[in-house]
Chain A
Amino acid sequence: MSIQLSGVRVRLGENDVLRNVSLDLDARTGAVIGENGSGKSTFARLLGGLISRTEGTVRVLGLDPGTQARQLRRRTAFLFSNPDAQIVMPTVAEDVAFSLRGSGFGPDELKDRVNTTLNRFGLAALAEHSSHDLSGGQKQLLALSGSFVRCPELVIADEPTAFLDARNARHVADHLFRDTGHRLVLVTHDLTLAQRCDTAVLFADGRIRTVGAPGTVVAEYERMLEC
């Protein structure tokens, strides 16, 4: 099983942001939907080991994100909605190479991997370009390159298309959904994207309301929005 949660509660400040969340998710692609403040992003950050649970058990790829975060991060990638916050290095190629620091690759292999990844995401011509001067869509593609260059088993994407126009959003989504052997947890407000996943999870008020086929879950969400 790739993701298992049992009786998870996450308390941030004075609020329980996740309450009694239990889930067994083994689909290749899973969408997480719900209103703002429903707990979707907290759920994603919990899976990525970026925050800790207050109680309950969490297993991601068989590891506990609370105590085995370092091992887990070697096998997962996390994509944020704001690409600016993910860029660390000044040029495109250096930023992608940054993800491979400490991986033990020699300079030639590292360069090959970076070039292959940049080609795959259509950024090869911008390799020496300043990372911060890219367009929003290119920055998100750079963030994707930095994630995929490590060949992650699981990609957790927290509203990765929120800052993008329709064309770039589709482009980024196509890369995320392309089967390269990775699993995908996609937090999104875009219900069309959610429908492309194998399964969907609907969050409401810090709890899981429904899990199932995306069509059914999206229909329930839409009914919820009409109330």
Chain B
Amino acid sequence: MLSLYLPGDGVLHRMPPGPKILTLLALVLGVSLLPAAWWAACAAAAMCVIAYAVAGLGDGAVGMRQFGRQVFAIRWIAGLTIVGQLIFLGPEPAVANTARVCAAIIIAALLVLTTRVTTLLDTLERALRPLEFVRLDPQRAALLLTVTITTVPVLAGLARQVREAQRARGSSGGLRTFAVPFLVMALKHADELGDALAARGVG
């Protein structure tokens, strides 16, 4: 699900971050408010395809390669969402709701695909500045969000290490034997990252 910045000069790359966030937010809201009907599922999918096609991602396939990657990345979310709703709501609402959720995530991914994290950090800092009067530190809040985004690949790496260690010891791997070492490693990483941020003059 993590999308990293793709260098490029498409429409979204050139758009200033503020208007870009508002545009994408409007699109996400648009797909979220669609009704639970077959045509709405088709409309959500069409909005995604059009958004990726016009974004100018420069992937050599009119944005469809990146679109495919994003769909593949959220396959588990799609699977879990559709199965649960098929049981309780029936096929039409299940497909429509799943399409809306997936479309919202995939459209939101365009923000990080076309915006440098540094730019996002600066924009968030500026956007959060009015909240200083309620004692919210905009620098800290923006940094928190940025570090959350950039820590995803580290956590994925830690999860891989735990799985490899389990396999190396001949274990098939249950939830508990995975979760405990993963949590310990994640918390240790959080401690180290906190120290590294402090050492780099943050906090």
Contacts and interface: CB of A to CB of B under 8 A. Distances in A.
Interface of A: 45, 48-50, 69-70, 73-74, 77-78, 80, 82, 84-91, 94, 97-99, 101-102, 128, 130, 132, 146, 150
Contacts of B116: 91, 94
B118 A97 contact: yes
A80 B196 contact: yes
A73 B195 CA distance: 12
B117 interface: yes
A50 B4 contact: no
Nearest to B2: A90
A99 to B, nearest CB: 6
Contact of B4 (A48, A73, A90, A102): A90
B199 A77 contact: yes
Interface of B: 4-5, 7, 116-118, 139, 146-147, 149-150, 153-154, 157, 189, 192-193, 195-202
B196 A90 contact: no
Contacts of B150: 87-90
A92 to B, nearest CB: 12
Contacts of B5: 90-91
B196 A86 contact: yes
A50 B198 contact: yes
B154 to A, nearest CB: 6
8 contacts: A49-B198, A70-B201, A85-B189, A87-B150, A90-B149, A94-B116, A132-B154, A132-B157
A89 B197 CA distance: 11
A50 B195 contact: yes
Nearest to B191: A85
A77 B196 CA distance: 10
A45 B192 CA distance: 12
A74 B199 CA distance: 9
B154 A80 contact: no
Nearest to B122: A101
Contact of A85 (B4, B118, B153, B192): B192
Nearest to A82: B192
Contacts of A132: 153-154, 157
A24 B193 CA distance: 30
A74 B202 CA distance: 10
Contact of B117 (A84, A85, A90): A90
A74 B116 CA distance: 26
A128 B116 CA distance: 11
B154 A50 contact: no
A94 B199 contact: no
Contact of A74 (B149, B154, B197, B201): B201
Contact of B200 (A84, A90, A91, A99): A99
A66 to B, nearest CB: 13
A70 B153 CA distance: 30
A96 B153 CA distance: 18
Contacts of A85: 189, 192-193, 195-196
A97 B200 CA distance: 11
Nearest to A103: B201
B117 A80 contact: no
Contact of A89 (B118, B198, B199): B118
B7 to A, nearest CB: 6
B62 to A, nearest CB: 23
Contacts of A88: 146-147, 150, 193, 196-197, 200
A128 to B, nearest CB: 6
A94 B200 contact: no
A74 B198 CA distance: 11
B183 to A, nearest CB: 17
Contacts of B199: 48, 50, 73, 77-78, 80
Nearest to B158: A84
Nearest to A84: B154
